[in-house]
Structure 1
């Protein structure tokens, strides 16, 4: 056998090496009496390796201790990284590792622990996103040893549909009073979406709040009476009047009120800047400040606000970004909450 003079230990996300210098310069000839090679410190002079076994044993023990498993990083999406979609960033590290910190482009990430050494964070892509987006992470082991990660995420192209409708003039023409009220609602919602609470409310996969036909997709470019409107900021789910609307995930009720556009509306804060919105309800069944579980009934389907018929307007926000809520239900969070996560 032959030993290297330098052994490089440590690999993975840190991309940093620890160099151990062994007291060996080169393998010598084989001693027929002991059946082991010699090593030479000075050319022409040989030392039996048996005398070095304690040192070599210590080196091997240290190398096993230093060469801890590097952290693993995964970026999960429902079908590639698409504009307006929610992505899941997963970090798997050693037990008792500290929560990572990082950014996805200019967007700060908020990680929460779901299992020993496993952390999750949501990241979002705006509707006009294209090209690539940089993922940068800093991580620390249980002993404080640092590691870093830098990855370019390729954004896939996405086309949004166009919907043309003939509607009553009141759905297109707003009075000054209507515009002022709508602006006040926007300011109020922006204040709510700026909040940051821990991600402790998320207990599993997101669910669809109402079973029904999707009558309007997220991001749809709508043209009412030949007047272009803003892209659709949620998903419309058709439902009968009075059908029950359930929480897509656990959270705290951040808003339960009548808004100009979405009528009777509930907003849930799921933590780490993630919110879901439930609009056009006929009745609200939860108060502000209530902590709800996934599947708990929030209200009943209606047509309040600017709605042409009974349906649920379901939206999702990650900070300032309006995102497709269907991308949330496609993420398998529960796979990473088990001791041996599936990739």
Structure 2
């Protein structure tokens, strides 16, 4: 008698085995399944867009800029940074799946109203001299190159620790008016702390830039992977070098008052797909 290649239910055993393997893959934990930041689909926020199941992680982008995708075969999520200057309404995510045509997934951006703050600073920090303006333009070009960083290595985590203890002295999105002159909304979180207070990496990453900038003072940029970057400004000292890989909690510098400031504090920014987003959405304690 020849061996049977069919199960009792009539399915070929090879098909049944394949189904079992697929089921196991869809349900099993995956190394890329990270705890996600808090969703807030507003200008300067983070949209979590469900991409559904797939054996291979889909690729996603917004206006040609790659977007971080996290999850497991049973379900993938695009973690999309929304620019502060984005208009409320509908935005579009381009999704590429293995062996499938390009797909467009829409998500909504809702309005938000951020607070306003008026500050007095030295006139030279608002009305720039020709020399300072030229310096700022050079630095702006350099910053744009840093901001465009994309590394294929996925982040170890999407939950961060505060880089320094202290009171939040300036919230993300705050519309600042310097010497009665409106400026762009605040693109980070300010944490007040004494000069010299250690600043640590809130998550593992690689140092991709350090320097002394006109507005930001002594600055460090970290690349956490897949377009997730962070920036630390106004430092009194820098304790890392470009190319260095740091673990969560590694000292990267110290609080200071360099650049355009009214007192010692840390300015901390988080960027996703080249968009500055609210760092509070990434805090492990869900603060903010």
> Normalising by the residue count of structure 1, what TM-score does the alignment of the two structures yield?
0.68
- Structure 1 gaps of 5+ residues are 1-52, 333-343
Equivalence for 1:321: 275
Contact 1:75/1:90 (8 A) holds in 2: no
Report which of the two structures shows the higher radius of gyration computed on alpha carbons. Answer: 1
Contact 2:26/2:53 (8 A) holds in 1: yes
Distance change in 2, residues 1:61/1:199 (3 Å) = closer
Distance change in 2, residues 1:224/1:110 (3 Å) = closer
Distance change in 2, residues 1:205/1:299 (3 Å) = same
What SS does the aligned partner of 1:268 have? strand
Deviation digits for residues 26-69 of structure 1 (CA, Å, limit 9, x no counterpart): xxxxxxxxxxxxxxxxxxxxxxxxxxx97952279847856955
Higher relative contact order (CA 8 A, sep 6+): 2
Q: How many angstroms apart in 2 are the aligned matches of 1:74 and 1:293?
A: 17
Q: How does 1:213-232 map to 2 (within 5 A)?
A: 213-232=167-186
Q: How far is the alpha carbon of 1:126 from its aligned partner?
A: 1.4
Which residue, 249, 269, 273 being the options, matches 2:203? 249
Which residue, 53, 71, 83 being the options, matches 1:126? 83
Deviation digits for residues 255-302 of structure 1 (CA, Å, limit 9, x no counterpart): 121111111110111121221000000011111111001111111100
Q: How many angstroms apart in 1 are the aligned matches of 2:7 and 2:119?
A: 83
- Structure 2 gaps of 5+ residues are 1-5, 28-32
Q: How many angstroms apart in 2 are the aligned matches of 1:158 and 1:71?
A: 37
Q: How far is the alpha carbon of 1:224 from its aligned partner?
A: 1.6
Contact 2:46/2:81 (8 A) holds in 1: yes
What SS does the aligned partner of 1:229 have? strand
Equivalence for 2:44: 84
Contact 2:7/2:13 (8 A) holds in 1: no
Equivalence for 2:3: none
Q: How many angstroms apart in 1 are the aligned matches of 2:92 and 2:270?
A: 23
Distance change in 2, residues 1:162/1:154 (3 Å) = same
> Normalising by the residue count of structure 2, what TM-score does the alignment of the two structures yield?
0.80
Q: How many angstroms apart in 1 are the aligned matches of 2:140 and 2:67?
A: 24
Deviation digits for residues 107-165 of structure 1 (CA, Å, limit 9, x no counterpart): 432446x767776653111122311223443445xxxx769876432222211111112
Q: How does 1:1-343 map to 2 (within 5 A)?
A: 57-58=10-11, 62=15, 65=18, 78-88=38-48, 93=53, 97-104=55-62, 106-111=64-69, 121-127=78-84, 128-140=86-98, 151-203=105-157, 205-329=159-283
Contact 1:75/1:88 (8 A) holds in 2: no
Distance change in 2, residues 1:98/1:174 (3 Å) = same
Aligned residues: 273
What is the Cα-based RMSD across aligned positions, in Å?
Answer: 3.5
Q: How many angstroms apart in 2 are the aligned matches of 1:208 and 1:286?
A: 18
What SS does the aligned partner of 2:131 have? helix
Q: How many angstroms apart in 2 are the aligned matches of 1:257 and 1:136?
A: 35
